[in-house]
């Protein structure tokens, strides 16, 4: 995912620790797990270049037909675009709301402060099947048709704990005196937030937005309860995986989207680092 944390940053190995450490081959363990993590996906990737419909060995040759087929399949492209819009909107909403929660709960003492904070992180401990069923019943009760919009609203709620926690940890490391200084110089409090606090939180905002984007972009369990006739890519994929369909094309599409996500995250993280 898109954590901007830098492990080991600023840590100097102390000689006392360096000398007497355990002889457990941790690097070997790490590499083994890494291989096990990449192997299945790598093999799946191979089958997106295999001419056969069936995902079975032996391989039949090499082809790019499935990747061409992706761009000829209107429903796949539409679903991918829907996912993109839903994830972007949900991430924007969750980041904005998470930032408000972080500022309100860290910079103010007020009644209901812990309730607000608790509510914002509570979706983290409710299984998606429960949130999904509950939101579904709400839509039914209000006679609201299920659609991409309702999926977006659902995703904004499940992404909120992540954005709130990221913004909280950033804001906690920032001196409130900065806002006071801006206000002493004549800024209103909202102006101080907008002109002083928000620019300093740029990296955290990006990190929060990307995390929320990935949470939504990939989500299927909650979306299944809230989706209308227009599928997102994960709900389309889930449907076709269940009831059979052209698997290699789907894999090709998923591979393309995965690489796009990874590239986007890496570029964004790099940009953020440069600004720091």
**Interaction with another protein in 198-227: which residues (CB under 8 A)?**
214, 218-221, 224-225
Q: Between residue 73 and residue 132, which ones bind another protein under the rule CB under 8 A?
A: 93, 96-98, 100-101, 103-104, 107-108, 110, 112, 116, 119-132
- Residue placing its CB nearer to another protein in the complex, 100 or 196: 100
- Separation CA 265–CA 196 (nearest Å): 26
| Ramachandran class of 13: left when φ > 0, alpha when ψ lies in -120 to 50, beta otherwise | beta
Q: With CA atoms as reference, report the closest residue to 100 among 125, 122, 124, 120.
A: 120
- Residue placing its CB nearer to another protein in the complex, 9 or 177: 9
Segment near another protein (CB under 8 A), from 19-27, 62-70, 73-81, 200-208? 19-27
Q: Between residue 128 and residue 187, which ones bind another protein under the rule CB under 8 A?
A: 128-138, 140-141, 153-154, 156-157, 160, 165, 168, 172, 183
Among 73, 78, 174, 238, binds another protein (CB under 8 A): 238
Total residues interacting with another protein, rule: CB under 8 A: 106
Helix (H, G, I), strand (E, B) or coil at 182: helix
Please give the backbone phi and psi of residue 146, each rounded to the nearest 5 degrees, phi first. Answer: -70, 140
Segment near another protein (CB under 8 A), from 61-69, 73-81, 198-206, 241-249? 241-249
Give the relative orientation of helices 128-142 and 148-172 as an angle to the nearest 10 degrees: 130
Residue 259 C-alpha from the chain's centroid: 14
């Amino acid at each position: 995912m898109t954590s901007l944390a830098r492990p080991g940053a600023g840590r100097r190995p102390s000689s006392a620790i360096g000398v007497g450490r355990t002889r457990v081959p941790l690097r070997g363990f790490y590499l083994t797990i890494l291989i096990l993590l990449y192997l299945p996906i790598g093999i799946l990737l191979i089958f997106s270049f295999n001419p056969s419909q069936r995902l079975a060995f032996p391989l039949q040759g090499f082809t790019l037909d499935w990747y061409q087929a992706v761009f000829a399949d209107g429903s796949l492209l539409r679903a991918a675009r829907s996912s993109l819009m839903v994830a972007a909107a949900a991430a924007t909403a969750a980041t904005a709301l998470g930032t408000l929660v972080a500022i309100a709960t860290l910079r103010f003492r007020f009644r209901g402060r812990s309730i607000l904070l608790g509510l914002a992180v509570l979706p983290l401990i409710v299984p998606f099947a429960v949130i999904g069923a509950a939101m579904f019943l709400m839509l039914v009760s209000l006679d609201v048709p299920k659609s991409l919009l309702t999926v977006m609203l659902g995703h904004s709620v499940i992404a909120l704990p992540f954005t709130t926690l990221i913004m909280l940890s950033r804001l906690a490391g920032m001196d409130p005196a900065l806002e006071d200084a801006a206000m002493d110089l004549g800024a209103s409090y909202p102006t101080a937030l907008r002109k002083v606090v928000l620019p300093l939180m740029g990296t955290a905002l990006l990190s929060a937005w990307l995390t929320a984007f990935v949470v939504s972009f990939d989500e299927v369990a909650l979306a299944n309860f809230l989706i209308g006739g227009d599928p997102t890519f994960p709900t389309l994929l889930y449907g076709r995986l269940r009831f059979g369909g052209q698997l290699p094309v789907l894999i090709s599409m998923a591979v393309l989207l995965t690489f796009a996500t990874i590239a986007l995250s890496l570029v964004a993280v790099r940009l953020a680092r440069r600004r720091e």
